[in-house]
Amino acid sequence: MTPNPWRPPALSRRFIPVWQRNFLVWRKLALPSVLGNLADPVIYLFGLGFGIGLLVPEVGGVSYISFLAAGMVCYSTMNSATFEVLYSSFSRMHVQRTWDAILNAPVALDDVVFAELVWAASKALLSGAAILLVTTLFGLVEVRYALWVLPLIFLVGLTFAALGLIMTALAPSYDFFMYYFTLFVTPMMLVSGVFFPADQLPPLLHAATRALPLTHAVEIARPLLLGRVPEGVGLHLAVLAGYAVVAFWVALALTRRRLQK
């Protein structure tokens, strides 16, 4: 009898060697990888920050580039986690068959998928922390609460890695991922308060953005980086954690079903 793919995750510490394997492979190209993840958000930060900043001197009482800095930290984290689970994890699962090789050892599929989740969040932590360092060195953020953003970055990485793993489990090829970016990631980036206050949106659209995980990430990161304590932080964290847990369960179930065929 085929096991139910929707059974609860059964995790163990055996995910750690799988995480270490991914880290050792990445370490060979660590510098190009970090620079590649830095380039896009830094271009956005300084290009839009100084360009639009000349037209919009202040947003919410701070310079536009300082307002944008928190959005770029969250955007960089989302991008890094998403790209890792879509392209790298898909390669290991479907193209290179690395997962098949690992599963010949006494390691369960649940641990392999969980290792991919944690590894993507770890890479996202590096990317988000790098952008945070750049914004701090340029004096764009308040340093008082800046370190509290680091655990938030890891949680955001887990959230978007879990969502991306659902697409990885469903994708027949790399081309499939363009739909995910075009229909979900890019629209969410534009309406979640990264580039402008979300409350400027039409009321119905603004209400809809409250369901998006990136909105909740920005709602925590921006006050912290502007030297304020966020409001409703418990709710925002609960939404992000809820997305991470539910999306991982769905991704794991879909992956089990895919590899059982």
CA dihedral 129, 28, 252, 86 (to 10 degrees): 80
Q: Domain range holding 256? A: 15-260
- Judge whether 57 lies within some domain: yes
- Judge whether 1 lies within some domain: no
- Alpha-carbon distance of 160 to 69, in angstroms, equals 20
% of residues, the chain, pLDDT over 90: 82
The pLDDT of residue 1: 65
pTM of the model: 0.95
- Judge whether 184 lies within some domain: yes
- Judge whether 165 lies within some domain: yes
- The pLDDT tens digits of the residues spanning 197-226 come to 999 999 999 999 999 999 999 999 999 999
The pLDDT of residue 4: 92
- Judge whether 2 lies within some domain: no
Mean pLDDT of the region 143-164? 96
- Judge whether 199 lies within some domain: yes
% of residues, the chain, pLDDT over 70: 99
- Judge whether 7 lies within some domain: no
| Lowest mean per-residue pLDDT among 45-54, 65-74, 84-93, 250-259 | 45-54
Q: 217-252 burial by CB neighbour count: b if 16+ within 10 A, else e?
A: bbbbbbbbbbeeebeebeebbebbeebbeebbbbbb
42 band by pLDDT with thresholds 50, 70 and 90: confident
Residue 234 has pLDDT above 70, yes or no: yes
Residue 175 has pLDDT above 90, yes or no: yes
Domain count, the chain: 1
Residue 38 has pLDDT above 80, yes or no: no
Residue 30 has pLDDT above 90, yes or no: no
- Judge whether 3 lies within some domain: no
Sign of the dihedral defined by the CA atoms of residues 250, 255, 256, 257, in that order: positive
76 CB burial (10 A radius; 0-12, 13-18, 19+): buried
The pLDDT of residue 32: 80
